[in-house]
A and B are shown apart, each in its own frame.
Chain A
Amino acid sequence: MKLETILKLVEGVVVTQSELEGEINFGLTSDLMSDVLTLDIDDAMLITGLNNLQTIRTAEMSDIHCVLIARNKKVSKEMIDLANQSNIVIIESPFGVFKVSGILYAKNIKPAY
């Protein structure tokens, strides 16, 4: 799925300058970063309510290039800077993680686990 399509579906806004290469085919929803770090596929997006620097660090280590921060939480400048350095796209969405996950799952984004 293209990033633009995801943004429409989740009423999302991109807050980074990074470019997403290719499409998103898999998703995982977690606030537990050790869980995210067990991922072994490349084209997954992370849907999370955990809004801190380690969320972006975890994405970097796991080769996740798209992170959606749910429920209208505003990401910090440090997170945006780190995401830009690591070529990670951050999306802010007003929806909760359950709603975002449900919408994307219904549109055929496959579970990463």
Chain B
Amino acid sequence: MQLNYSIEGGDFTNAGNASSQVKKILKKLNVDPKITRRVVVALYEAEVNVAAHAYRGEIIVDINTERIRVVLKDEGPGIESIENAMTEGFSTASAEVRQMGFGAGMGLPNINKNADELNIKSDVGVGTELEIITKLK
């Protein structure tokens, strides 16, 4: 099963819509609630990241019996130092993002914690691609 969603940069009203849809679908598929929470928490943090930092992005969620693979590709400024971005407390978020309750430098570390595998590719000035894999077994 493959699901596709899009995200607009700066759109905090709709940030989380995809995560919400995915959560409902995983519930229907009877995925263990603890695994579902890991998948949607990671996806939601990533969705907020795209809304917070990029111009636009797309989400592809691919589900099979072994694993859930989530890919988020965005067009945006990219990440200058992935090592810094993975460090808890490091953030380049705007005041607006902080007012929404994010931007404390916990997003990528949180995604990493909830993923069985996390791959990040980023080109400065072009965009970022995140691959989040969660095993179902």
Residues of A within 8 A of B (CB): 31-38, 40, 50, 52-55, 57-58, 60-63, 78, 86
Contact = CB atoms under 8 A, between A and B. Distances in A.
Contacts, number: 67
Contacts of B48: 54
A63 B37 contact: yes
Interface centre among A40, A52, A57 (most CB of B within 10 A): A57
B20 A54 contact: no
Given A37-B41, A60-B20, A54 B102 contact: yes
24 contacts: A32-B102, A33-B100, A33-B102, A34-B45, A34-B101, A34-B102, A34-B104, A34-B110, A38-B113, A40-B37, A52-B12, A52-B100, A54-B16, A54-B101, A57-B16, A57-B19, A57-B20, A58-B101, A60-B16, A60-B23, A61-B23, A61-B37, A62-B37, A78-B13
Nearest to B36: A63
A61 B15 contact: no
B78 to A, nearest CB: 21
6 closest pairs, A vs B, by CB?
A: A33-B101, A34-B106, A57-B16, A61-B44, A50-B101, A61-B40
B33 interface: yes
Indicate the size class of the contact surface on chain B: 20 to 34
A13 B13 CA distance: 25
Interface of B: 12-13, 15-16, 19-20, 23, 33-34, 37, 40-41, 44-45, 48, 99-102, 104, 106-107, 110, 113
Contacts of B44: 37, 57-58, 61
Contacts of B100: 33, 52, 54
B37 A31 contact: no
B46 to A, nearest CB: 11
Given A34-B107, A54-B15, A54-B101, 10 more contacts: A33-B101, A34-B45, A34-B106, A35-B104, A37-B106, A38-B106, A38-B110, A50-B101, A54-B12, A60-B23
